[in-house]
Amino acid sequence: MEAYRDQYARLFGEGEEVVLLAVNGDEAEAQADWARDEDFPFLFASDPGGEVGKQYGAARSRNVFIIDPEGRIAWRAIPFREVDPTAYDELGAAVKEIAGGS
């Protein structure tokens, strides 16, 4: 998550065309404390039972989905290669394309 925070402007611009929502199984209060301490510029959601992850086929690995303005999955990285710098370049390009080049 720190990589997303540190590259937020490059990947998501000012965030006006994009909403980044990180979903994981941690309890909401723990996530809120951590997000506040780390100064993350995006939202977190708690999915302790893993139901959201199951709906997206994203259980037990780090995955990234871009949902377009119509609510469809427009891009996915399953699993997301968070240690590979080129993965962030691919993500940034996909965000730009889906957000209309802004």
pLDDT in tens, 25-62: 888 898 889 889 999 888 888 888 888 888 888 777 78
CATH of the domain at 38: 3.40.30.10
pTM here is 0.76
**Confidence class of residue 96 from pLDDT cuts 50, 70 and 90?**
confident
- As for how many domains the chain has, the answer is 1
- SS3 string, the chain, reads CHHHHHCHHHHHCCCCCCCCEEEECCCHHHHHHHHHHHCCCCEEEECCCCHHHHHCCCCCCCCEEEECCCCCEEEEECCCCCCCHHHHHHHHHHHHHHCCCC
Domain span including residue 46: 2-98
